[in-house]
Amino acid sequence: MNWNQLTELSQLESIKEESNSTPVLILKHSTTCSISKTALNRLERNWNQDSVGTLKPYYLDLLSYRPISSAIASFFDVEHQSPQILLIKNGVCTYSATHFDINFGELSTQL
């Protein structure tokens, strides 16, 4: 799995635009949280590129980039959670999951 790093606020607008041509996944991850680490490991372990096609995954280290994490909540009109995945299509969040509800199988059905 090849994560794209989310490190700049300006990327949110790019992600929104990009989602008009391909679905985008944002993973908000806390590097000090055991639940977040488990969710990340489960997602990566079950990742199957053929199942997600052109989905472009972004990884946010929310401890290092807390302002971006806060901006995501308002930019995509979702409640802030950690860990959290957001599926962005056509500029809007069409699916989100948090904690142990982060599941590759469910994510792939949302595409």
| pLDDT one-digit tens code per residue, 86-106 | 999 999 999 999 999 999 999
How large is the average pLDDT for residues 69-79?
A: 94
pTM for this model (two decimals): 0.95
Domain boundary assignment for the chain: 4-109
How large is the average pLDDT for residues 1-25?
A: 97
Residues 17-40 as b/e (b if ≥16 CB within 10 A, e otherwise) read: ebbeeebbbbbbbbeebeebeebb
Q: Which CATH superfamily is domain 4-109 in?
A: Glutaredoxin (3.40.30.10)
For 1-111, strand residue ranges (E) read 4-5, 24-29, 56-61, 84-89, 92-98
Asked if residue 1 has pLDDT above 90, the reply is: no
How large is the average pLDDT for residues 72-78?
A: 94
